[in-house]
Chain A
Amino acid sequence: MKLTNLLTSAAVALGLAAGAAMADTTKVGFVYVGPVGDGGWTYEHDQGRKAVEAEFGDQVETVYVENVAEGPDAERVMTQMALEGADLIFTTSFGYMDPTINVAKKFPNVKFEHATGYKRADNVSTYSARFYEGRAVQGTIAGHMTESNIVGYIGSYPIPEVIRGINSAYIHAKKVNPDVQFKVVWAFTWFDPAKEADAAKVLIEQGADVILQHTDSTAPQAAAQNAGNVITFGQASDMSEYAPKPRVSSIIDNWAPYYVARTKAVIDGTWESVDTWDGIGAGMVEIGEITDAVPAEVKEAALAIKDSIANGTYHPFTGPLKKQDGSDWLAEGEVADDGTLAGMNFYVEGIEGDIPQ
């Protein structure tokens, strides 16, 4: 392959040039699927980038490109960053998986970190957060707080990560409120304020007084605020501008420690390809402040769940649990293994409706 050779030699030449000219600067690139001002997913990744800059100062140079479509555009943006001398590139959306692998093949000396995917290589790590741990806390609050017993859930795409979240939230809502019912709307987007607002309105019209979202904008928060007696949870980011109500708590993705650690590894020359899946315990998933709109005893119950997950005494997927079709999944006391969780494509018993296919 001529192009591969060209690119590789260019990369090598650059590496040499970079090594000679600016031995001290490590260049770190970030590819974002949304705008940095989305207030959710991409915003938090960008906070991580800023943390890297704050930590290492002149030792690093960071660059980012926002709103990059998944597919050939992503591949081009990554290639461009690698050509321009990036040493480490974070690709922060599931759909960047194959492009990341393709580009990584051409630049063996550049390290890549792909968020939420499952394909790795010698110079490609993957990382993700156990958001479902946070969902357990949200589900507990939701189960206590709902008066209509209808909890609305805005799903993005029916992928394992999102289905895990729905299951975890449902299991814990059901534990504290056996009558609870989940209504799921699939928005088929990560970030589209108009669609998300529509989904929230539909759920509220169907009687939901708690809205959980797995999409990244604050539009559902605004819709809940307009509707009045509806509570929501910040997604990916704290979304505290909607506190104390409708937003009563949140899941915050805290990528900063991971990004700082990985950048340090590149600087020190100790970087290795790994698969990281951290949760509340490691601080990758944070629970935003539970506001006073939630009664004290509910808050206490939620924090108890959070603490037990954090110190490892409790796993959100602990048997007995059955699948939606009634078949057995986990026996009494049995804990779900990571493999099953990673590929989760079924609802647990009690959730109505089908996963789209």
Chain B
Amino acid sequence: MIRLEKRPQPSRAWSMATPLVAVLATMFFGGLLFAVLGKPPVEAIRTIFWEPLFGEFSFYYRPQLLVKGAPLVLIAIGLSLGFRAGIWNIGAEGQYIMGAICGAGAGLAFYPADSFLIFPLMVVAGALGGWAWAMIPAVLKTRFGTNEILVSLMLVYVAEQFLASVSLGLLKNPEGFGFPGSRNLQSWDSAHNAELIAGTGMHWGVVAALIAVIFAYVLLNRHMTGYHIRLTGEAPRAAKFAGVNPTRLVLFCLGTSGALAGLAGLFEVSGPSGQISIDFNVGYGFTAIIVAFLGRLHPVGILLAGGLMALTYIGGDIAQSNLQLPAAAIQVFQGMLLFFLLAFDLLTNFRIAIGKPEVA
């Protein structure tokens, strides 16, 4: 008889190994899937994981990994703080949108002025926009005890309506022949979040993501607030006795994650994306939830997970184009990764035992 036995202590070895095992299992079963679809499995896996990093055109794909990974990491870092304390912000997508709208709006108000102050102003406005949007579920939760999961999620759809509205009205490009969408910030130097070193993909959003990783690490390991976050998540009762103020914690976690998501939106709209449009958001806020868990809610883990996720996106597109793999197969492949991670995660807390349970 095979059964699961709870480990007295979570296994450190398995905790470290599961992401790697999950990736290997995904490669294996993903390869099987591709083979069933009649595509060369090894070639497909190689294309997804190897091509962007070391392939012929890696000089282009490597910077793209930063571009794709930075918003994921930035948002996931914010989310992980709350997740650790059991505060569930599911609406980062909405905060990302509001950050982009507020940031771009603050900049476009001064169009076509030429000033080095415009971009910093946009950054502040972006962070505030995301922060304010996250404060809605935070205040409702602390004042009226509403569920932050539902409120933050629903506010994503409200934010999408706002996005459509400003794309068609307030921020619409007056020179856009009636088409929706704002001016392209890439062609306005004062507001353009350009590459800091050409050809590297390094823009301010990447820098911000790296700073966020360091700050989160320091916060969680060296700071009282970080200690409170961890304590509330691991032992809520103990946290209460230790005098943790839950209201302050909710406001802090939701506010921080909102501000970081807003920043991610601002860096995206002023950089790689360039303009506010109805379809500006492409799901970074939701994918970041996966990244946060894939990275074990640990800052360094999130950094790696964001990179891995970006890799599967970019590699997936290359595989689509070069091997004509269907987009749905790539999505299944990405889903497998999370599935296997959660499945193998079981082994951190349980071990597989063979034979009858011992009677104590």
Contacts and interface: CB of A to CB of B under 8 A. Distances in A.
Interface stretch (B57-65, B224-232, B243-251, B342-350): B57-65
A21 interface: no
B282 to A, nearest CB: 4
A3 B180 contact: no
A71 B272 contact: yes
Contacts of A158: 168, 180
A207 interface: no
- How many chain B residues sit at the interface, stated as a range, is 35 or more
A64 B320 CA distance: 7
A70 B326 contact: no
Interface stretch (A248-256, A289-297, A318-326, A342-350): A342-350
B321 A2 contact: no
A7 B60 contact: yes
Contact of A345 (B178, B186, B280, B320): B178
A63 B322 contact: yes
Interface in A65-124: 65-73, 75-77, 79-81, 83-84, 94-95, 98, 102, 118
Given A35-B327, A80-B321, A73 B282 contact: yes
Contacts of B169: 356-357
Interface in B303-319: 313-314, 317-318
A70 B283 CA distance: 12
Contacts of B179: 94, 118, 159-160
Nearest to B179: A159
Interface size class of A (residues with CB under 8 A): 35 or more
Nearest to A116: B179
Contacts of B322: 63, 84
B168 A65 contact: no
A157 interface: yes
Interface in B252-280: 268, 272-275, 277-280
A1 interface: yes
Interface in A27-80: 29, 35-36, 63-73, 75-77, 79-80
A348 to B, nearest CB: 15
B324 interface: yes
Contacts of B359: none
B198 A35 contact: no
B138 interface: no
A76 B64 contact: yes
A79 B195 CA distance: 17
Nearest to B318: A80
Given A6-B199, A76-B314, A98 B274 contact: yes
Interface in B169-198: 169, 172, 177-180, 184, 186, 195, 198
B81 to A, nearest CB: 27
A314 interface: no
A193 B64 CA distance: 32
B164 interface: yes
- For chain A, what secondary structure do more than half of its interface residues adopt (helix, strand, loop), or is it mixed? mixed
A79 B60 contact: yes
B57 A83 contact: yes
Interface string B92-103: 000000000000
B328 interface: yes
A275 B160 CA distance: 33
B273 A63 contact: no
Contacts of A357: 165, 168-169, 172
A1 B186 CA distance: 15
Contacts of A3: 60, 63, 195, 198-199
Contacts of A64: 320-321, 324
Contact of B60 (A66, A69, A83): A83
A2 B199 contact: yes
Contacts of B57: 10, 80, 83-84
B134 interface: no
Nearest to A188: B164
Contacts of A29: 321
B280 A71 contact: yes
A18 B14 CA distance: 49
Q: Which of A69, A75, A80, A118 has the most CB of B within 10 A?
A: A80
Nearest to B52: A80
Contact of A77 (B168, B180, B275, B317): B317
B328 A35 contact: yes
A118 B199 CA distance: 29
9 contacts: A71-B272, A73-B282, A80-B61, A80-B318, A83-B57, A83-B60, A157-B278, A188-B278, A345-B178
Pairs of residues from A and B, 5 with the lowest C-beta to C-beta distance, nearest first: A3-B199, A72-B272, A357-B169, A345-B178, A67-B327
Interface of A: 1-3, 6-7, 10, 29, 35-36, 63-73, 75-77, 79-81, 83-84, 94-95, 98, 102, 118, 157-160, 188, 342-345, 356-357
Given A3-B63, A63-B322, A357-B165, 15 more contacts: A6-B60, A10-B57, A35-B328, A63-B321, A66-B326, A71-B282, A72-B272, A73-B317, A80-B61, A81-B321, A83-B60, A98-B186, A102-B186, A160-B177, A160-B179
